[in-house]
Amino acid sequence: MTGKSAGQPVAQPATAELLALAAKTREDINIRDLEGAIAGALTEGVPWAVVMNQTVRMLAQNDGDVRGLRTVFAELVRLHHGNRRTERTNF
């Protein structure tokens, strides 16, 4: 199902499918660790589209790993919370 925002399609969460893609494309990735990183980012308010994009980027990089992905998510959350103090709230 596709959501709509102001008439535009909105990416819907598909964590199971993203984890299945990770398992198929990167045997070196610990899927439970990745699942935790994704869940943590979503809990902190990182939009699904950003989580999906950053996760696929990490998977596509031969040297990308879950630790690096967690760092990216943490930085996004830090920046987002810092921007909230200056009235900018979008990721």
Confidence at residue 3, expressed as pLDDT on a 0 to 100 scale: 63
Token pair, residue 81, equals: 């919370």
1 band by pLDDT with thresholds 50, 70 and 90: very low
Strands (E), the chain: 3-5, 8-10
Q: What is the pLDDT of residue 70?
A: 98
Three-state DSSP class for residue 66: helix
Whether the CB-CB separation of 43 and 15 falls below 8 Å is answered with no
Question: How many Cβ atoms from other residues are within 10 Å of residue 64's Cβ?
Answer: 19
| Mean model confidence pLDDT for the chain | 89
Structure tokens at 39: 């869940």
- Check residue 7 and give its pLDDT: 79
- Whether 32 shows a pLDDT value over 80: the answer reads yes
Q: What is the average per-residue pLDDT within 13-19?
A: 97
